[in-house]
Amino acid sequence: MTTGTWAEPTVGATSTALARLSLNTATTKYWTLREAVDGAVGAGLPAIAPWRDRVHEVGVAEAARMIADAGLRVSSLCRGGFLTAEDDADAKAALDDNRRAIVEAATLGTRELIMVVGGLPAATAPGGPARREPGGRDLVGARQRVADRIGELAPFAAGHGVRLVLEPLHPIFAADRAVISTLGQALDIAEPFPADVVGVVVDTYHVWWDPDLQRQIARAGTAGRIASYQVCDWILPLAADALLSRGHVGDGYVDFPTITRWVAETGYTGDVEVEIFNESVWDAPGDQTIATLAERYLEHVQPFL
Amino acid sequence: MTTGTWAEPTVGATSTALARLSLNTATTKYWTLREAVDGAVGAGLPAIAPWRDRVHEVGVAEAARMIADAGLRVSSLCRGGFLTAEDDADAKAALDDNRRAIVEAATLGTRELIMVVGGLPAATAPGGPARREPGGRDLVGARQRVADRIGELAPFAAGHGVRLVLEPLHPIFAADRAVISTLGQALDIAEPFPADVVGVVVDTYHVWWDPDLQRQIARAGTAGRIASYQVCDWILPLAADALLSRGHVGDGYVDFPTITRWVAETGYTGDVEVEIFNESVWDAPGDQTIATLAERYLEHVQPFL
């Protein structure tokens, strides 16, 4: 009821403002799951998005208990995917691993399993040079394999109440990490499946540049397929490892108010995850990182939700 | 008329095979225009695509004479653009510079002026960090300014028989170099104008990842807007300066046969330019660079044209 002046935020008010903010554990990379859970709770965050490596360290059942006991939601599990192998044995291993990830997501009590779908077979390693021999560069074929294998996984996911969440990655990663490069393409692959079985994530870092973004966010929202809204910034110059070129919201070029409004206009009411890969962010104390991301969220994202 | 055996290629045969190959002078960065002209002629190339800095060194009239006397075509002039300024004075300066570039293209005898349209006002420099202050991140607005200013330049270009050729740049450059990020977006901006006044370039490095590429190449061809087909490869790891992460055709991840077929299927009969920004390519002797690019062209591109 104040007019013309600003009240000091109270803890209660801050908690309400943070009611949709989720800590993706990749942001506090060097923290164990226990530390990340405690850090999120301490900062007043209601949700967490664990990566599987941190879950495996303690075991899935214990991780589920730890998070539930802390009163946190699991906004998503990161990550499944890597579905582009040409070789049958590699493909089978990938499908098996994804089935394990689906079970883990169900155990953790989240319905959203983030899928990074994998790069071209020509890639020697993520970020590495292309193989010298010809072949492995058929991008159209690799994309079709992703669609086919999502089809193979969909019944198993549905049976566990888990949604396969396709993540378009920035085209900088099309060769070596994910052949899904736009939100529109992710939605095309999702379309044959029910919205509660195959969804998409809108990650500002990966999609901010897309001239078709507003339309595709609206399409995703209308279809009920937005499973997660992830925020971090596009910063320059790129880090030596381009994967680590993500910045805190507000440090780079992304127009967060505009994209956040587009997401909000679809009626999306889910969590907003902050997922930052950045060596200097990782080197900062975890509590400081959470304080910064909460502050930036309140400035650049939350008012537009 | 040989069957079952291959004849040794003769000089004449090689020249025929190279009949559409053009040397973009950025590929032999340290050569003067005179050296590049001589190098192209010596290697049996029929065309050259000069950058303006090398043209200015000798003067436009002299450059035109030098190239014509050597019997080379000018496949395009690189480059105009940088049309995203918010400030009126900067915008006017950019439009003036583009009018000079249009006159230079006409003088050189090419109708194709490549346009790199510029990044966000928030960019401190190409490849540099974003300004700290808010603003300058309105990507939708920046894109609209490009469209508006193409409209301002179009009559002048038409009057000089020059086509403004919109170059979609890889989304890695959307913040700092070009807010046109896809071929489809470039075609949307071109659509209100005659095909001989506003065109597009298909540069494999920039567009290879695009899930909509086949359809947009077909659309560009149907509309008669493909002004140039440029080839170079997407290599990893990225160079410290991402701008220099281009490789010789065949050294990276791009599926040249497929994309080249898509271009050829539109009926495109123009030149194929090789434009490589890469420190180690630049450090190689220019003649060696041309020999390599011709060899790679004959292996990965020309058979599919």
CA angle B275, A174, A272 (to 5 degrees): 130
What are the residue ranges in chain A where pLDDT is below 50?
A: 1-13
**Neighbouring-strand partners of residue B81:** B116
pLDDT in tens, B100-124: 999 999 999 999 999 999 999 999 9
Q: How far is A287 from chain B (nearest CA, A)?
A: 24
Q: What's the one-letter identity of residue B125? A: A
**Cα separation, B77 vs B110, whole angstroms:** 7
Q: What is the DSSP string of B34-59?
A: HHHHHHHHHTT--EEE-BHHHHHHH-
Helix (H, G, I), strand (E, B) or coil at A163: strand
Per-residue tokens: A275: 């997922």
Which residues does chain A have within 8 Å of residue B184's beta carbon, measured at their own beta carbons? 211-212
Tell me whether residues A128 and B251 touch, CB distance under 8 A: no
Q: How far is A186 from chain B (nearest CA, A)?
A: 10
Considering only CB atoms, B171 lies closest to which of A120, A127, A171, namely A171
How many other CB atoms sit within 10 Å of the CB of residue B303?
13
**Cα separation, B71 vs B66, whole angstroms:** 9
Q: How far is A10 from chain B (nearest CA, A)?
A: 27
Tell me whether residues B130 and A253 touch, CB distance under 8 A: yes
Which residues does chain A have within 8 Å of residue B238's beta carbon, measured at their own beta carbons? 172, 238, 242
**Cβ atoms B46, B75 nearer than 8 A:** no
pLDDT in tens, A22-44: 999 999 999 999 999 999 999 99
| Predicted TM-score of the model (pTM) | 0.94
Residue A115 pLDDT: 98
Percent helix, strand, coil in chain B (nearest 5)?
A: 45, 15, 40
Q: In chain B, which residue ranges form alpha helices assigned H by DSSP?
A: 11-17, 33-42, 52-58, 60-69, 88-108, 139-159, 183-190, 204-207, 213-222, 256-265, 279-283, 286-300
% of chain B with per-residue pLDDT over 90: 92
Nearest CA in chain B to A207: B171
CA-based max dimension of chain B: 69
pLDDT in tens, A50-80: 999 999 999 999 999 999 999 999 999 999 9
pLDDT in tens, A256-286: 999 999 999 999 999 999 999 999 999 999 9
Per-residue b/e over A76-101, b at no fewer than 16 CB within 10 Å? bbbbbbbbbbeeeeebeebbeebbeb
In the predicted structure, residue B14 carries a pLDDT above the cut 80: no
**Cβ atoms B226, B200 nearer than 8 A:** yes
Which residues does chain B have within 8 Å of residue A258's beta carbon, measured at their own beta carbons? 138-140
Which residues does chain A have within 8 Å of residue B121's beta carbon, measured at their own beta carbons? none
**Cα separation, A33 vs A60, whole angstroms:** 11
Q: Among B279, B143, B55, B234, which Cα is nearest to A172's?
A: B234
Considering only CB atoms, A242 lies closest to which of B139, B181, B238, namely B238
**Neighbouring-strand partners of residue B77:** B113
Q: Is the peptide bond before A34 cis (omega within 30 degrees of 0)?
A: no
Which residues does chain A have within 8 Å of residue B212's beta carbon, measured at their own beta carbons? 182, 184-185
Which residues does chain A have within 8 Å of residue B234's beta carbon, measured at their own beta carbons? 175
Q: Which of B236, B296, B299 to mutate to test the interface with A (most CBs of A within 10 A)?
A: B236
Q: How far is A171 from chain B (nearest CA, A)?
A: 6
